[in-house]
């Protein structure tokens, strides 16, 4: 199928954002085990996304980690080691950036897209999550304002003037990568399209083809709309997954 992939250094109608109606468009086999993540499950979904991107025992996602890791040089992009109790050592500033980013994304997407997920087989939470925007749906100033209002106007760590100097570098990186991603997106896929904003699979659940199942669903929905799919990624490994 057509797929616009932008490689970075890293208000449509409510019916389009109705995930259950979208699931009804595909076969039972294509939607098996896939659910629309409800708002009350936001924190469960955020936990899955943080673990997937943040380096919990697996390589962190390069572009986002480049923005959020407040240290430099050899401290960048190192997987976090698992401890005897099953937890992971975590830089609190690092995790605070990830947790805010994903919390904001899942709060804003209520007004601009859909969150699909696959639940864990052996407990609460989600094995995999994808955040998508159907054709004609996009983040705007107003959807961002609504999200900020829902979050009580709490600011991201890198905008908090009370934080130490390390976050100045985080803010610079985040601002520049965001501009670059927006430019690539606009230039790569000007027509209406399905935008795969985030795909996250819990490291403990990887290798079970959960990510493939979510992407197959989006491919089927895009086929029915006659629309291309856009996503941005970085690194040969990720590009191979999506192509």
Q: Percentage of the chain with pLDDT > 90?
A: 45
Whole-model pTM? 0.86
**Does residue 73 carry a pLDDT above 70?**
no
Bridge-based pairing of strands 194-201 and 126-133 is: antiparallel
The DSSP code for 128 is: E
User: What confidence category does residue 74 fall into, taking pLDDT thresholds of 50, 70 and 90?
Assistant: very low
Angle at 169 between CA 43 and CA 90, to 5 degrees: 40
**What distance in Å separates the CA atoms of residue 6 and residue 182, rounded to the nearest whole number?**
10
In three-state form (DSSP H/G/I as H, E/B as E, the rest C), the secondary structure along the chain is CCEEEEECCCCCCHHHHCHHHHHHCCCHHHHCCEEECCHHHHHHHHHHHHHHHCCECCCCCHHHHHHHCCCCHHHCCCCECECCCCCECCCHHHHHHHHHHHHHHHHHHHHCCEEEEEECCCCCCEEEEEEEECCCCCCCHHHHHHHHHHCCCCCCHHHCCCCCCHHHHHHHHHHHHHHHHHHHHHHHCCCCCEEEEEEEECHHHCCCCHHHHHHHHHHHHHHHHCCCEEEEECCHHHHHHHC
- pLDDT above 70 covers what percent of the chain? 81
174: confidence class by pLDDT, cuts 50, 70, 90:
confident
Q: Which two tokens stand for residue 192?
A: 């209406």
Terminal C-alpha separation, the chain: 10
Mean pLDDT of 115-120: 94
Q: Has residue 12 got a pLDDT over 50?
A: no
Mean pLDDT over residues 59-80, rounded? 67
The three-state secondary structure class of 39 is helix
Residue 146 three-state SS:
helix
Q: Pick the more confident residue, 188 or 123.
A: 188
Mean pLDDT confidence for 201-219 = 91
> Which among 182, 184, 196 has a CA at the least distance from the CA of 229?
196
Residue 133's beta-bridge partner residues? 195
The pLDDT confidence band at residue 238, using thresholds 50, 70 and 90, is confident
| CA proximity to 67, closest of 218, 179, 198, 164 | 179
Mean pLDDT of 226-231: 93
Apex 64 CA angle, 166 and 220, nearest 5? 165
Res 131: pLDDT: 96
């Amino acid at each position: 199928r057509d797929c616009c992939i932008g490689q970075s250094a890293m208000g449509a109608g409510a019916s389009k954002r109705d995930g259950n109606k979208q699931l009804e468009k595909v076969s039972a086999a294509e939607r098996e085990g896939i659910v629309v993540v409800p708002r009350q499950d936001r924190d469960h979904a955020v936990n899955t996304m943080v673990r997937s991107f943040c380096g919990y025992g697996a390589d962190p996602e390069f572009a986002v980690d480049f923005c959020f890791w407040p240290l430099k040089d050899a401290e960048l992009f190192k997987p976090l080691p698992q401890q005897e109790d099953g937890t992971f050592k975590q830089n609190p500033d690092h995790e605070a950036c990830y947790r805010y980013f994903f919390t904001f994304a899942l709060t804003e997407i209520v007004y601009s897209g859909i969150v699909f997920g696959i639940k864990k087989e052996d407990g609460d939470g989600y094995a995999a999550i994808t955040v998508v925007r159907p054709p004609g749906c996009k983040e705007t100033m107003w959807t961002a304002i609504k999200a900020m209002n829902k979050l009580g106007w709490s600011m991201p760590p890198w905008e908090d003037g009370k934080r130490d100097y390390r976050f100045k570098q985080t803010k610079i990186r985040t601002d520049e990568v965001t501009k670059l991603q927006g430019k690539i997106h606009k230039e790569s896929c000007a027509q209406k399209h399905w935008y795969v904003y985030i795909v996250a699979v819990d490291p403990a659940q990887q290798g079970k083809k959960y990510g493939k199942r979510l992407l197959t669903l989006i491919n089927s929905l895009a086929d029915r709309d006659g629309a291309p799919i856009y996503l941005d990624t970085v690194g040969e490994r990720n590009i191979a997954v999506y192509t």
